[in-house]
Amino acid sequence: MFILKIKNNKIIMINQNPFSNLKQDAPSALVVFLVALPLCLGIALASGAPLFSGLIAGIVGGLIVAPLSGSPLGVSGPAAGLAVIVYGAIEELGAYPTFLAAVIVAGIVQVLLGMLKAGVIGYYFPSSVIKGMLSGIGIIIFLKQIPHAFGYDADPEGDFAFIQQDGHNTFSELKYMMEAVSPSAIMIAGLGLIILILWERPWMKKLSFTNIIQGPLVAVVTGILLKLYFDGKAGWELNGEHLVSIPVTEGLNGFLGQFTTPDFSAFLNPAIYTIGITMAVVASLETLLCVEATDKLDPYKRVTPTNRELLAQGTGNVISGLIGGLPITQVIVRSSANIQSGGRTKAAATLHGGLLLISAFAIPAVLNLIPLAALAAILLVVGYKLAKPSMIIGMWKKGRGEFIPFAVTVVGIVLTDLLMGIALGLVVAIVSILWDNFKVPYKFNIRKYKTGEPIRIQFSEVVSFLNKASIQQTLNTIPQKSKVILDASQTLRMHPDAQEIIEEFQINAVTKDIEVELVGFEATISETPLEDFEEKVLKKPRIKTRKVSKLFKSK
């Protein structure tokens, strides 16, 4: 199957067959792997779960969820947004194998949601909130990586909440990092940034080897070489918390021993169902938000089938729970890294899962040489691209109605967490919609009214209950002894609440000596019994009733 993309006024055909794009997908998978590795471990640490459980979730997200999903660029794995819920659930249930039963329940609930077509919820998130989510996450990633770039690694990777596990917050962490600056970490992060920026230059992209060897890989290898060079040099050594930390085992049995099975007797515990449903709802919302955001970032503007995504996520969570992994969602950090690195199909996400599995089994000792400062350089670039100033300026130019929900979402994510920030943005967006419906198109300016002129109020194609306030306010301002024409000739659908207001106005208009004429209401106004309506209205001599009588007799 082919899709089209217009670039430089030329139509480019893209084959969506995963095996036809390995030249782009394989290098992208490597970058996503480097981004996902510390995040999987950091989220597991932040969740109070075994470190290997984060890797299991990342592996399942790549090898199971990606092939089942309809998202060409989305990458799934353990999510920071669930870390607090997971941490509290493990403490409440008392044991990690018991918690795994709740993960399975969450997966089953997600499968049911997909079968019930609940994925349509994702289409109701305003664009301003989605773009605010992207910018907010970009800013928080950037701020959270600065301490790691300076060599201050007290807070684990993957902790994206404002109030951190180390007792500090996002901004106070920037102060405390100055007390533990590492010159070697700064050098590694600085060189990494220089390499990544150079790799993006047009003249650099013309060199053939840059299409094969990705800048992030060069930055990581440079970081490892510098780390080895600094070993044994006082004040320059990097070890322990400054490096990636994957559990190292010997042989296949040792590796398989890190997988955990759930406690199946826990299914008799009612608490796991409450926790499972909670995780399913939160994970589904986070996934749907990420799907919307990923589709907006997709240069080929493909649309992900959201119900299929819920089915894929649910299947992944059932399998993750069965083998000892954390709950899974689609994750915007990894997905955006995939897009920024040139990924084209779901092969990139699948390959990243394979790389996690192979590296965790075959070369954990090598991965444990990677400085977090080198990975911080990669994430700093990812964060900047998500929160480009051009996006913020573009939202400002769209006007207050778009910018305010966008800004509230960004600030909410930075100062609280992902889900709270999105919730705040949604509330503001809904209030903005209500306010827009309260204003024009039904406004009547009484100060410009000239006595004797008829007042025409024309309704739009769809009049919803959200228009009640504006209709009521407009009708209340119509002066006495005037003529008003209520024109619904262009209206396709009118909510019963709006119809009721118009019917009540017709009755009340008699007391104000207002002449009312209805136009085009035959297909919109509610079924009011003729007898009741005529008893209230037709016996009143001052109101024009010819139109109304004709209306109801025709029914």
| CATH code (residue 469) | 3.30.750.24
- Does the residue 218 lie in any domain? yes
What's the rounded mean pLDDT across residues 123-140? 90
Q: Are residues 322 and 233 in the same domain?
A: yes
Q: Contact 316/78 with Cβ under 8 angstroms?
A: no
- Does the residue 4 lie in any domain? no
Alpha-carbon torsion (65, 67, 71, 76), positive or negative: positive
Q: Are residues 390 and 530 in the same domain?
A: no
Higher pLDDT, 534 or 85: 85
Q: Are residues 420 and 495 in the same domain?
A: no
Residue count of the chain, please give it: 555
Look up residue 79 and give its two tokens: 């999510």
User: Percent helix, strand and coil across the chain, each rounded to 5?
Assistant: 65, 5, 30
Question: Could you tell me which of 496, 494, 489 has the C-alpha nearest to residue 528?
Answer: 496
Q: Are residues 487 and 401 in the same domain?
A: no
- Does the residue 160 lie in any domain? no
- Does the residue 16 lie in any domain? no
Q: Are residues 358 and 495 in the same domain?
A: no
* Residue 2 pLDDT exceeds 60: no
Q: Are residues 394 and 465 in the same domain?
A: no
Q: Are residues 499 and 369 in the same domain?
A: no
- Does the residue 433 lie in any domain? no
Amino acid at 548: V
What's the rounded mean pLDDT across residues 210-232? 90
Quote the CA–CA distance of 100 and 104 in Å, as a whole number.
6
Higher pLDDT, 419 or 464: 419
What's the pLDDT band for 458 if we cut at 50, 70, 90? confident
Which of helix, strand or coil describes residue 442? coil
9: which DSSP letter?
Answer: T
- Annotate 69-106 with b (16+ C-beta within 10 A) or e (fewer): bbbbbbbbbbbbbbbbbbeebbeebeebbbbbbbbbbb
Stated as kind and residue range, the H or E segment containing 455 is: strand 455-458
Domain's final residue, options 426, 458, 480: 426
Domain's final residue, options 392, 426, 460: 426
What's the pLDDT band for 549 if we cut at 50, 70, 90? very low
- Does the residue 134 lie in any domain? yes
Quote the CA–CA distance of 141 and 362 in Å, as a whole number.
30
- Does the residue 108 lie in any domain? yes
Q: Are residues 327 and 385 in the same domain?
A: yes
Q: Are residues 177 and 279 in the same domain?
A: yes
Domain span at residue 316 reads 21-155+165-426
Domain's final residue, options 426, 460, 475: 426
Q: Are residues 458 and 509 in the same domain?
A: yes
What's the pLDDT band for 139 if we cut at 50, 70, 90? very high
Number of domains, the chain = 2
- Does the residue 102 lie in any domain? yes
What's the pLDDT band for 250 if we cut at 50, 70, 90? confident
Which of helix, strand or coil describes residue 341? coil
What's the rounded mean pLDDT across residues 143-162? 90
Q: Are residues 407 and 479 in the same domain?
A: no
* Residue 295 pLDDT exceeds 60: yes
Q: Are residues 422 and 478 in the same domain?
A: no
Q: Contact 310/59 with Cβ under 8 angstroms?
A: no
Q: Contact 328/60 with Cβ under 8 angstroms?
A: yes
Instruction: Tell me the pTM.
Output: 0.79
Bridging pattern class, strands 10-15 and 328-330: unpaired
